[in-house]
Structure 1
């Protein structure tokens, strides 16, 4: 992003169409591939492609001079997605170690066997799905707002629509964890270090959604830094005039 804004400068007509195509492809293909998955890790991986597409919506809107919201939203989303994604893969690892399977059905009845893992699944998946008041909802709201401010109405519309479609596979996993009866009632023991890591991811995902201001401020500082670099480049190119 810094390369596009600082090195290329205002030549948005050259790279924005490419970013738009990549964003559309990532959002649509990532979510459609995730829907068909029965393997939890693969589902999370394809979901990651879709999440990258959402970030590209803001990148496409960043070409407009003065659109600080674009950079701020991307930085904020990168941080919150790190917590959410790590939580998701830690969940998949824990379930895989306990059951010997990475399949989504391995989460069946998880609320009885391992309440912390079930809670992690609920928070992480709902956040990825953009359900309020979790971090993913706030992050997508800022990304789409940045895209809208940058004139990327089509991307915002597609992103919002495909996000609704994506709720299907996120809710499907939550259904396995909380509604389905388990195949066995043997409790799943979660090692203390893993439990702490999961708790951190859950708390961060919830707290960012409820009180996003510190993370927004972090993104705004990053946006200001990028704008300063961009102005310095423009000054140099113009020969200091």
Structure 2
């Protein structure tokens, strides 16, 4: 049988990373039925990490391809844009599953086997989103990720906060998906196609006829994806969901789910809308739409950092920090490209990698505190240096990167984005980045103050598990190395990624 629904059997090799996750999820779900409960906490977790590592190996094999490979009638693209984003998703998922080994409690998460292998279809959805070249494929990946995430958020069935978080995430997530689908319907109605490259070509020839509808589609998609990345004013779900979900799930939402949304935001808005109608007086969507996106980025930076100032729970604080970082990551997309500056994707990806290590490391510390003391409040950090000095030292490195202090990955990530915005004459957006980053110093260094200058005599001993300790130090070291050798990562991305080939299909 040479073909299967338009896909040749010989083409299945290109889908090896995705097929690895699908097959692994099926096998692990079957093992879960027969495996003793005592073994699920470790074996299924390690097998999940192994499946993620194998999938990442297959992705690495496809890096640096000269020409993108189109499958399923050009609806699925194997290109370096998608491959680089997939490595971020798989790396984040692997670290999150690894650090959760040995920390789950039976009275907190009843279905421990499902807890682990549900990460596989979730990251699969993220990978599908990164490689989508068609609106239908994009939506399938989005819902695969979203539906699995809804289940993972509510998996702590006996926890009231988890139930509330799961319901809120499901309700608002369904609304945002409907908004995205509505925006896609306008694009299809105007162009008669669902392929991204064909949509762009069709829009350029029909702006005079469909100008208002083009704007409508842009703003609907911006609102829908704004929810997925938790950017203001579409952020209201994030603090409650972050606080109520199990901490590894919160880390997944903060890193992988957000990263997947940014992957598709970059691909869709850059491929379909960027530069369209710039010379037209009736529908300059390439200017007006991206100005609105810049306003959303500024709102996210301002609101996220100011609201974080008043937080007393570490998971809620990280939620507002994530909102602010969503604004930073939106800046390269909103700034666009120019003849003097065309490394927008490199800047976004560099900061996304730094953001991955910063956040996974921070949530690793939260899990250490939660596992040892049962608390996630800011006061749980009190005297951490005296209780666990090496843990506190690693967290200081992570906080310095979060705050953007030299010489760390977070510092150079923000610098590259800010300089890119200035080269594209977005000076006001760069100014907002600088001012809000200064505001963030207060609550980030408040965490350090708790660790070194506060002491609680009744505080419980901190006894991190080995996976949590390894994850914490890996993230701290990675953030430091990114600060000392940023050029290595940027040059590597630049040598692999090609704007014209990977996004616009031009050799």
Q: What TM-score comes out, normalization by structure 1 length?
A: 0.90
Q: 1:70 — aligned with what?
A: 344
Structure 1 position 113, deviation (Å) = 0.8
- 1:134 aligns with one of 398, 404, 408: 408
Q: 1:110 — aligned with what?
A: 384
CA distance in 2, matches of 1:185, 1:97: 13
Three-state SS of the structure 1 residue aligned to 2:457 is: coil
Three-state SS of the structure 2 residue aligned to 1:68 is: coil
Three-state SS of the structure 2 residue aligned to 1:3 is: helix
Deviations 1:133-186 (A, max 9, x none): 111101100010111111110010011011101100000011001121233475
- 1:167 aligns with one of 437, 441, 451: 441
Q: 1:225 — aligned with what?
A: 498
Structure 1 position 20, deviation (Å) = 0.9
CA gap of 1:226–1:2, structure 2 versus 1, over 3 A, is farther
Structure 1 position 102, deviation (Å) = 0.7
Structure 1 position 229, deviation (Å) = 4.1
CA distance in 2, matches of 1:210, 1:25: 31
CA distance in 1, matches of 2:478, 2:313: 26
Determine which structure has greater relative contact order: mean sequence separation of CA pairs < 8 Å that are 6+ residues apart, divided by chain length. Answer: 1
- 2:468 aligns with one of 169, 194, 218: 194
- 1:4 aligns with one of 263, 269, 275: 269
Three-state SS of the structure 1 residue aligned to 2:425 is: coil
Q: Does residue 1:36 correspond to 2:310, yes or no?
A: yes
Three-state SS of the structure 2 residue aligned to 1:164 is: helix
Q: Does residue 1:81 correspond to 2:355, yes or no?
A: yes
Q: Does residue 1:125 correspond to 2:390, yes or no?
A: no
Stretches of structure 2 that go unaligned for 5 or more consecutive residues are 1-265, 277-285
CA distance in 2, matches of 1:109, 1:150: 46
Q: 2:322 — aligned with what?
A: 48
- 2:421 aligns with one of 114, 129, 147: 147
Rg (Cα) greater in structure:
2
CA distance in 1, matches of 2:396, 2:498: 36
2:301–2:436 Cα contact (<8 Å) kept: yes
CA gap of 1:14–1:228, structure 2 versus 1, over 3 A, is farther
1:68–1:220 Cα contact (<8 Å) kept: no
Q: Does residue 1:20 correspond to 2:285, yes or no?
A: no
Stretches of structure 1 that go unaligned for 5 or more consecutive residues are 236-241
CA distance in 1, matches of 2:295, 2:274: 20
CA gap of 1:200–1:210, structure 2 versus 1, over 3 A, is same
CA distance in 2, matches of 1:171, 1:209: 19
Three-state SS of the structure 2 residue aligned to 1:183 is: coil
CA gap of 1:183–1:65, structure 2 versus 1, over 3 A, is farther
Between 1:109-118 and 1:81-90, the stretch displaced more is 109-118
Q: 1:238 — aligned with what?
A: none
Structure 1 position 206, deviation (Å) = 0.6
CA distance in 1, matches of 2:296, 2:274: 20
CA gap of 1:2–1:221, structure 2 versus 1, over 3 A, is farther
Deviations 1:177-225 (A, max 9, x none): 1121233475411111111111111110111011112221233246x42
Q: What TM-score comes out, normalization by structure 2 length?
A: 0.44
Q: 1:209 — aligned with what?
A: 483
Q: 1:239 — aligned with what?
A: none
Between 1:7-16 and 1:170-179, the stretch displaced more is 7-16
Structure 1 position 7, deviation (Å) = 2.4
Count of residue pairs the alignment pairs up: 233
CA gap of 1:198–1:229, structure 2 versus 1, over 3 A, is closer
Deviations 1:101-152 (A, max 9, x none): 1111110110111123212321111111111111110110001011111111
